[in-house]
Amino acid sequence: MVVEPARLSKNGSGNNHVDDHPLNPNPESQWGSFFKDNEVLAQIDKDVRRLCPDIMFFQRGTQFPCEVIVNDPEVERLHRRVTHSSLTATAVTRKGLGITKLEASNRRSAQTEDYHPLPPGSEAHWEVVERILFIYAKLNPGQSYVQGMNEIIGPIYYTFANDPNIAFRENAEADCFWCFISLMGEIRDFFIRTLDDSESGIGAMMERLMSNLRHHDHQLWNRLRTQELRPQFFSFRWLTLLLSQEFDLPDVIRVWDSLFADANRFQLPDPSLHSNDGIAKRCYAAERFWLQYENSAALPSGGCPGTAQQSH
């Protein structure tokens, strides 16, 4: 958790040296780590509040809040470390030689909070997701948190938190945490910018996707090329977020159910080596469907040539 260094010193478990203060430039300072943690937490807090805005699930309170956090006044909840506040501004107006007039205004910023914290003693589902993502960022300082991870963890947590078995719902946070770590172990390279051009990076994955499309459906590939629809415009989000932004949540869960059941789920075959492979054919069918779905405005009104002949 984010713990204010002053509280650690008060409890006798922190660094009591006078040198460790909020203005200490030492990168090893506890206060320095505290402020860096808050920067990451601020981004996480912003993203988890926008999870699945079309449903109210993440805004509702969980049936099993973390008792240690919600019932202990000495423990500060994560979202309160980065709570937004409004400032009072004073406008000065004067007409001619008349009296100067001061008008105070208390305008809120344009940024609004979609999900407001629940009353004391309760905890919203988005707060649970926020805690999981922050702990993941702390355990993986080299990667930390990257925007988009919230869209990956959302369907996982939703599935566990809505399990018919009450025992599974009670342990939804722990189960979601370990499943999220396991999944990120397979796709984490997609979220590391320095690996974009590596064999396991998102750049290489997009190239293999387009190579498959060119090999199996040259006409559609050429159409995208002439329209200057680069794979970064559509496939980047498909691959990094695993289609979680392309469909409604129930459909995403259904797609993931089939995706995770495939041992080669995150591998696109070389079209020159697997032209007759069943996996390659399924990739081709999926590519055609995805591209038609996303780029229908750029395609002829009758769809892609040969669509009617495809058998999925």
The per-residue pLDDT for range 202-224, each reduced to its tens digit, is 888 888 888 888 888 888 889 88
The per-residue pLDDT for range 228-268, each reduced to its tens digit, is 888 888 888 998 999 999 999 999 999 999 999 988 888 77
Least confident of 111-120, 139-148, 175-184, 270-279: 270-279
Q: What is the DSSP string of 162-230?
A: T-SSHHHHHTHHHHHHHHHHHHHHHHGGGG-GGGTTSTTSHHHHHHHHHHHHHHH-HHHHHHHHHTT--
- Looking at residue 305, its pLDDT comes to 38
Sorted by where each begins, the domain ranges of the chain are 5-82+118-191, 193-309
Residue 45 has pLDDT above 70, yes or no: yes
The per-residue pLDDT for range 119-169, each reduced to its tens digit, is 778 899 999 999 999 999 999 998 899 999 999 999 999 999 999 999 999
